Structure 1
């Protein structure tokens, strides 16, 4: 789970794209740094029209009657007011106009598709996003969800019934996520949930969904223990075991080094899980960890690296979560390309390219998706046309989660029926990365992909993430 950073230009703004085309990446606007037309550059205070912008503990669920994100236009605000009054006919042209002004606004597209359904029969899935604490990630997840909903409904829906999407904010907070989960469980029309973002947050919510029998599919939570929380819990992102294996094998087989120093966040389930999986696989490959440093404890990166090299470190494993990305990048700067760096998907981020610069060249990252894998090029091309730029792996994994729900709803559009369909050994769906299958634990049956940082001009920083060619 990484944290994005936009730039002013439309092609330089959504968090890092996993759609790797022509050896590089580029960006669409996401709304947390430089503003574009119709967007605010920072999250506004909570208001009646945007009650979820701060972590107030209030659960706001919207199918169009309120704003969840801070991206807005006058037309979008008018549409939301019309939907709140039940006037879907008035809302539709307003949302279409808003999308003309901000075509990369997924919340508006979701509300437009919901308004077109109006009071007709529909199947509802919810998407939980960190709207108030990680606006970029929220936009990335919403784009995948919106794209899948649009394609499904344009094709006639699920067995003739269109798909409605409810949006809810949990601010990536475990306590609030539990409240969100209960609120969704209490709405019988919700047949499944796409979410949550962070592994800690997903774990908290998963306990509620499991107890109530409502399927949760996380597109971004990779911590290995999540799979043990029950048979209603799935994820479209490969787990940390896949990431750890890919990185450890690359280090030993390609870099031909054994001794590694690890930088991680001891306060994060995700970071701890990835560290453990990487360490286990490295030992299996006859390597060893010669030092561990907790990024949440205010370490001196220069001192830490000097100590690690004295202990024989030959490589760096950079395994932060999104909250400790900044100190992780300080390690990259302090390293100055002395030791090769391996990294998890939280480092796969525009901020990394911008901050690390030349010091990041050659870094190897394991990510869940890239456009050159499976069905990636087809999905990436459609996303580029819809959003005006490439999208990243979080968008692809959210898209896949909605496609899984579509396939399950076709078989049995009930909560229990959805779970039974997905859990079946024969289940499969088609997503951004090709065929989607799950193992018995609910984990995605898919390997991680390796990319590296190289000079390039797609991101606007002078550096890009590109597919790794050993």
Structure 2
């Protein structure tokens, strides 16, 4: 009888140890496209999330004085809305403590409803569609400026600085592409400016000859494209073949180091002007330079686009957990709403909608096939 009691006591003790061990793991989900045409950007993001998690664990991350282990659960949405909602539900079922992602607006927006219904916190490092935070989900945040600011800034630059008067607009029919094109169209409403054409393609198309031929006949001096670099690169090549000499503008989706490679010599010299949500200057530049060096050392790859924002999203979520002394979303959400965090990308504070306050934009062009900064605007 005594032996039986002893066995039960040992089993109970082991169960208690197992329970305590389980409580010491905090799961953070990351979602991005690591397959498909945007895989280079998705892998960039996943690498940054893993880097942040590894650094926090190496320092001995604690919550309420207790050391915990952060665990990254990474999923691939392939930039596909259906796949995005499927992996969102998978992470909910895995009982993650928070989500960093997605990359594309078209996957972020439908997935955000799943996270909201599950009571989870989601910080997007890349989603710029205004619709994301206009849903007013209390747990939805972003660390980059929205397309409202990006589109209006590019529109003003097109008319005021580039002196564009006849403008054509193309989008790829995605949530992101249509959204940024719509906001740009609002930004170019100025005296003497005419939108001479509005066309669309798809995110998987490879031949744009028909729409470009139609646009060529309208003689635009500037063409705006709402979409990603995987489409913009080949499109620039076809513009060159057709003899289209107009300036080209786009949002952060095309504003990558890879565009020069994808477009080849069709990227031209100062031909393309694009804006990236985010950006630093002054003293913050050294912080960003140091991050890029650490990222290259750890991953063996250069930062593509959003890696610094993914890194900051993980860090700001972890900081909110520490401030709340809890990894439960309902408990750290209030801390996230009032947080002021000094990150790699600058000061992170959120407005009542979950949008970053005073978000920066960086204007770029391309010279010698390389992305070259014009200015950082807030």
Does TM-score exceed 0.5, indicating one fold?
yes
1:138 to 31, 42, 54: 42
- Is 1:366 aligned with 2:275? yes
State the distance in 1 between where 2:197 and 2:330 align.
47
Q: Which protein is bigger by CA-based radius of gyration?
A: 2
In 2, are the aligned partners of 1:216 and 1:233 still within 8 Å (CA)?
yes
State the distance in 2 between where 1:397 and 1:286 align.
38
| 1:240 Cα deviation after fit | 0.9
In structure 1, stretches of 5+ residues that fail to align are 1-117, 456-462
In 2, are the aligned partners of 1:124 and 1:192 still within 8 Å (CA)?
yes
In 1, are the aligned partners of 2:229 and 2:255 still within 8 Å (CA)?
no
State the distance in 2 between where 1:151 and 1:430 align.
16
State the Cα deviation string for residues 256-284 of structure 1 (Å, max 9, x = none).
2233111212x211011001111111116
Secondary structure (helix, strand or coil) at the match of 1:392 reads coil
State the distance in 2 between where 1:317 and 1:335 align.
17
- Normalization by structure 2: what TM-score? 0.81
State the distance in 1 between where 2:350 and 2:375 align.
28
State the Cα deviation string for residues 420-462 of structure 1 (Å, max 9, x = none).
22223xx12232212112222112221211011001xxxxxxx
| 1:176 Cα deviation after fit | 2.5
In 2, are the aligned partners of 1:368 and 1:393 still within 8 Å (CA)?
no
State the Cα deviation string for residues 148-185 of structure 1 (Å, max 9, x = none).
11221222214443322111222222223222222222
- Is 1:316 aligned with 2:223? yes
1:452 to 339, 360, 365: 365
| 1:241 Cα deviation after fit | 1.4
Name 2:123's counterpart in structure 1.
217
Matches within 5 A, 1:7-406: 121-133=24-36, 134-159=38-63, 160-188=67-95, 190-229=96-135, 230-265=137-172, 267-283=173-189, 287-296=193-202, 298-300=208-210, 302-309=212-219, 313-321=220-228, 324-325=231-232, 328-334=235-241, 338-360=245-267, 361-362=269-270, 363-370=272-279, 372=281, 374=284, 375-406=287-318
State the distance in 1 between where 2:212 and 2:244 align.
13
Residue range with higher mean Cα deviation, 359-368 or 278-287 = 278-287
Compared CA separation, residues 285 and 354, structure 1 to 2 (3 A): farther
In 2, are the aligned partners of 1:428 and 1:436 still within 8 Å (CA)?
yes
In structure 2, stretches of 5+ residues that fail to align are 1-20
Residue range with higher mean Cα deviation, 379-388 or 292-301 = 292-301
In 1, are the aligned partners of 2:98 and 2:329 still within 8 Å (CA)?
yes
State the distance in 1 between where 2:232 and 2:266 align.
15
What's the RMSD between the two structures over aligned residues?
A: 2.5
In 1, are the aligned partners of 2:254 and 2:274 still within 8 Å (CA)?
yes
In 1, are the aligned partners of 2:278 and 2:360 still within 8 Å (CA)?
no
State the distance in 2 between where 1:158 and 1:452 align.
43
Residue range with higher mean Cα deviation, 231-240 or 385-394 = 385-394
Name 2:15's counterpart in structure 1.
none
| 1:335 Cα deviation after fit | 6.4
1:417 to 311, 327, 331: 331
- Normalization by structure 1: what TM-score? 0.66
Secondary structure (helix, strand or coil) at the match of 1:300 reads helix
Secondary structure (helix, strand or coil) at the match of 1:289 reads strand
In 2, are the aligned partners of 1:223 and 1:273 still within 8 Å (CA)?
yes
Compared CA separation, residues 281 and 182, structure 1 to 2 (3 A): same
| 1:289 Cα deviation after fit | 1.7
| 1:199 Cα deviation after fit | 1.0
| 1:129 Cα deviation after fit | 2.5
